[in-house]
Amino acid sequence: MTLFFLNLRRRDDTPKLIASCAIVGEPQGFSSREREFDDAGAARQALEAAGVEQSRLEYVLGRIHGDWATTLELTPAQARSLNVLRLADTE
């Protein structure tokens, strides 16, 4: 079984957030992408559009402080919607 985790961290000392997808299990057929958000508001909009539940969204965004990173499990569809996961065979 392959699991997908959103890694979210702050870019240096700026409001920008960097998102990537960690692939745990069998990574064959998938590759991770990195995406930058201008700020937490832009990340929130993308997470909402990807269908991440409000409580999980609040949890992950509430834990990004300074140089701390946070992680949230995603479905493959959510990761693709956030543009942090690519299907290697088709894209």
Report, as an integer, the average pLDDT of 74-83.
Answer: 94
Q: What is the DSSP letter of 75?
A: -
Q: How far apart are CA 1 and CA 69, in angstroms?
A: 25
Parent domain of 33: 3-87
CB 32 within 8 A of CB 23: yes
- CB neighbours (10 Å) of residue 84? 25
Three-class SS of residue 12?
A: coil
Q: pTM of the predicted model, to two decimals? A: 0.84
Q: For all residues of the chain together, what is the average pLDDT?
A: 89
User: Residue 91 pLDDT > 50, yes or no?
Assistant: no
Condensed to tens digits (0 to 9), the pLDDT of residues 28-69 reads 889 999 999 999 999 999 999 999 999 998 888 888 876 678
Q: Which residue has the higher pLDDT, 10 or 27?
A: 10
Q: How many domains does the chain have?
A: 1
Percent of the chain, pLDDT > 90?
Answer: 59
Nearest to 76 by CA among 8, 16, 26, 39: 26
